[in-house]
Chain A
């Protein structure tokens, strides 16, 4: 890259919001949406599946086995399979990332349900909770800290994985890596790394705050 400086601030200023789809700001927005949607979809799918696995333990091994096989597939391979169906769209990135998040979120939901102490569950039954109300008012709230811990891992890894989508033109900030590489121009690469990291940190912090707010009763467990 010769005597090119690591960061050219004027390039950043010019490209922050230049009105094209490749403006840094637009890429950051794309990246955020494409990173969060898979986690949201993942959670919506993982909740019923995880609850089913916690209820019928025989399902758990096969389900996590399948999820781990999917997790081990290279994302690029999944993109190329999906390309023929969904084309060069965001969907082609969001579907594999959703599947990847399940590998973290399903065990998180199962572990969360397992974290409900047996004497607490028994006492809920003995007080006269029927199953649905017990799930909504006792078991799920108690599972929240464990599920949120899984959600933090899933979110950060999703934020990092979106970049790969740049290979099919849907990678959010990942575009900056390809652009910088092709032009032997380090500034976009540095900006991309910094923003992906920052996004991950902000998202993680937000989830920690949500957890504090949702589970003031779990402070003892956090301190331990």
Chain B
């Protein structure tokens, strides 16, 4: 497949049901090669419908969806779907098949021999961070988070260039969800798939998306932009409201903490072996907050300040050794309003 052409294009796509309900209204957008585009919006905004029109689980009423320049309506549905990875909410694993055979589903459909398909499946289980000992188990023997990882492995099994993810992490608890999101970002940094991701959770959209398409009820696109722009410049009141409060704080997540000016650590910071232990206070130690200027964002730096009793964030390097401390005025100076205007 031509790498340069691997894009999904919506051209004036409308889905209207026989009863007159419009699920998606004249949607036009591009999903660029190797990027994550997140469709986000309240229920009834047509985000899942839009996703399912790509692999023709739903057919568009008007307009055209192109995949690599080809109208998807010209491709036989089953053939089209075998070439597109799909991850569904609740994983949708086949309860009667062992994990390894679940992952090998599409290779089997494509007629690979069993040995090759299973070997590929084992490779993918490892890739998504699962113990290969789980391979011979049945889905009911796995936790929700593990099942969802299997779902991702299954979608990747035949190495499709495009991945569709339909609220894949919404049925697991918040901690598992966060680790699945991190895992997806890690995988994506290795695999560079073209991913369309649907969620109703704006925080998830901002965390995962290279671009975020905010949709409103009635299936209209409200705004399409990168997460930082979305937080800075919501197109209208609907988007502003959907983004919720503390947009400003959340924007800090997209600004690296590298530019924060550090001061030498004061005497009351107790350090052992180069690592911070706490703030001296009378006879005891008070807790401290720390951040890594190389990898963290301004949000983490601010958080570290709020966790320290004296408002000073401890900067540490990758090995946890103290680099210095940052005060609030250093944070202010690093803010885009002050620094890059």
Contacts and interface: CB of A to CB of B under 8 A. Distances in A.
Contacts of B109: 127-129, 133
Contact of B81 (A125, A141, A216, A220): A125
3 smallest A-B Cβ distances: which pairs? A123-B92, A128-B82, A128-B81
A123 B57 CA distance: 10
Interface in B23-62: 55, 57
A122 B57 contact: yes
Given A120-B95, A217-B95, A126 B88 contact: yes
A161 interface: no
Contact of A126 (B86, B93, B138): B86
B259 interface: no
Interface in A144-186: 144
B90 A129 contact: no
A124 B152 CA distance: 14
A128 B88 contact: no
B46 to A, nearest CB: 17
A133 B97 CA distance: 15
B92 A220 contact: no
A217 B138 contact: yes
Contacts of B106: 127-128
B82 A123 contact: no
A120 B81 contact: no
Contact of A125 (B57, B93, B97, B138): B57
Contacts of A141: 96
B178 interface: no
Given A119-B89, A217-B140, A220-B140, A126 B81 contact: yes
B229 interface: no
B78 interface: yes
A76 interface: no
Given A128-B106, A219-B140, A220-B140, A122 B92 contact: yes
A127 B57 contact: no
A14 interface: no
Contacts of A128: 77-82, 106, 109
Given A119-B92, A220-B141, 4 more contacts: A117-B92, A123-B151, A215-B96, A217-B96
Interface string A195-224: 000000000000000000001111111000
A217 B141 CA distance: 9
Interface of B: 55, 57, 77-82, 86, 88-97, 105-106, 109, 138-141, 151, 154, 164
Contacts of A215: 96
Interface residues of A, number: 24
A144 B81 CA distance: 27
B155 to A, nearest CB: 9
Interface in A86-137: 117, 119-120, 122-130, 133
B95 A218 contact: yes
A119 B88 contact: yes
Contacts of A34: none
A31 B138 CA distance: 40
A138 interface: yes
Given A120-B93, A122-B92, A217-B95, A127 B81 contact: yes
A142 interface: yes
Given A130-B78, A220-B140, A120 B55 contact: no
A58 B295 CA distance: 60
Contacts of A122: 57, 88, 92
Specify which of A119, A120, A127, A129 lies most central, judged by the most chain B CB atoms within 10 Å of its CB.
A127
Contacts of B79: 128
Nearest to B89: A119
Nearest to A216: B138
Contacts of A123: 86, 88, 91-94, 151
A124 B106 CA distance: 10
A128 B55 CA distance: 9
A174 to B, nearest CB: 40
A27 to B, nearest CB: 40
27 contacts: A119-B88, A120-B93, A120-B94, A122-B92, A123-B94, A124-B92, A126-B55, A126-B57, A126-B81, A126-B92, A126-B164, A127-B86, A127-B105, A127-B106, A128-B77, A128-B79, A128-B106, A130-B78, A142-B96, A144-B96, A216-B138, A217-B138, A217-B140, A218-B95, A218-B96, A219-B140, A220-B140
A138 B94 contact: yes
Contacts of A129: 78, 109
Contacts of B95: 117, 120, 142, 217-218
A23 B140 CA distance: 50
A215 to B, nearest CB: 7
